[in-house]
Chain A
Amino acid sequence: EDQVTQSPEALRLQEGESSSLNCSYTVSGLRGLFWYRQDPGKGPEFLFTLYSAGEEKEKERLKATLTKKESFLHITAPKPEDSATYLCAVQEGGSYIPTFGRGTSLIVHP
């Protein structure tokens, strides 16, 4: 069973159509939850770090939230340039080994 599950696997939106990506986790003692964006053929690019339930972070059209069991990445009025794969990763307290989800592939059509 995966410790980090991202859903949906793929999402197609029209420009301006807001939606949310989900990252659920089963690790105990969460130390941090990370969101990354990955463009085709490139390395992941850091977006947000969340440390405790109730925490929220925003950057342009993106907003990340965290509960005790999951995190959401809300995309408001997306643009085609928001098309990418979004990765979620969690770090369990006391562990150096991060666990990444498989990612959500987002395509925003003009």
Chain B
Amino acid sequence: NAGVTQTPKFQVLKTGQSMTLQCAQDMNHNSMYWYRQDPGMGLRLIYYSASEGTTDKGEVPNGYNVSRLNKREFSLRLESAAPSQTSVYFCASSEGTGWETQYFGPGTRLLVL
């Protein structure tokens, strides 16, 4: 099992460009999550999906959109990147439809110039 995988590992964007961060899990988990992690701050939830076909906003959803493509895949899209979105993005998954133990991917490091 690969667990949770994320692509790309690193990306540089110019302000205003768009991109999609990909996440996939092979653990047959129902719930998936997108977080961002900034220096000196805790992980902050951007969006989550409690089950296939549903998505909900987290703490910091502005500037992002998500798609739960199927049970395995959950993507995060930046339509018009801003320097404030420079961060490390983590995808996670959990087995149930509530928030239990989460399994994290290796992260995507995004730099917006």
Residues in chain A within 8 A of chain B (CB atoms): 4, 32, 34, 36, 41-46, 49, 87, 89, 91, 96-103
Q: Report yes or no: A98 in contact with B99, Cβ–Cβ below 8 A.
A: yes
A44 in contact with B99 (CB, 8 Å): no
Are B107 and A46 closer than 8 Å at their CB atoms?
no
Q: For the complex, would chain B's binding face be called helix, strand, loop or mixed by DSSP majority?
A: loop
Asked if B2 lies at the interface with its beta carbon under 8 angstroms from chain A, I say no
The residues of B with any CB-CB pair to A shorter than 8 Å are 4, 40-45, 48, 50, 56, 58-59, 90, 92, 98-107
Whether A44 and B100, one on each chain, are in contact in the complex, defined by CB atoms closer than 8 angstroms, is: no
A102 with B99, Cβ < 8 A, contacts A43-B105, A96-B48, A97-B58 known = no
For residue A91, which residues in chain B have a CB less than 8 angstroms away from its CB? 99
Inter-chain contacts of A32 with B (CB < 8 A): 99-100
Name the residue on B nearest A46 (C-beta).
B101
- B45–A46 CB distance below 8 A: no
Q: Which of B58, B59, B101, B107 contacts A34 (CB 8 A)?
A: B101
Residues of A with C-beta under 8 A to B56: 96
A44-B90, A96-B50, A96-B98 given as contacts; is B42 within 8 A of A4 (CB)? yes
Contacts of A34 on B, CB cut-off 8 Å?
101-102
Q: How far is the CA of A96 from the CA of B54 in the complex (A)?
A: 13
Interface of A is mostly: strand
Q: Which residue of B lies closest to A6 (CB)?
A: B42
Q: Is the CB of A45 within 8 A of B104?
A: yes
A64 to chain B, nearest CB (A): 13
How distant is the Cα of A4 from the Cα of B59 in the complex, in angstroms?
15
Known: A44-B90, A91-B99. A100 touches B104 (CB 8 A): no
Say which residue of B41, B50, B90 sits within 8 Å of A102 (CB atoms). Answer: B41
Contact indicator B101/A49 (Cβ below 8 Å): yes
Residue of B40, B59, B99, B103 with most partner-chain A CB within 10 A: B99
- Give the interface centre of A41, A49, A98, A102 by most chain B CB atoms within 10 Å: A98
6 contacts between A and B (CB under 8 A): A36-B104, A43-B4, A43-B92, A46-B102, A98-B102, A100-B43
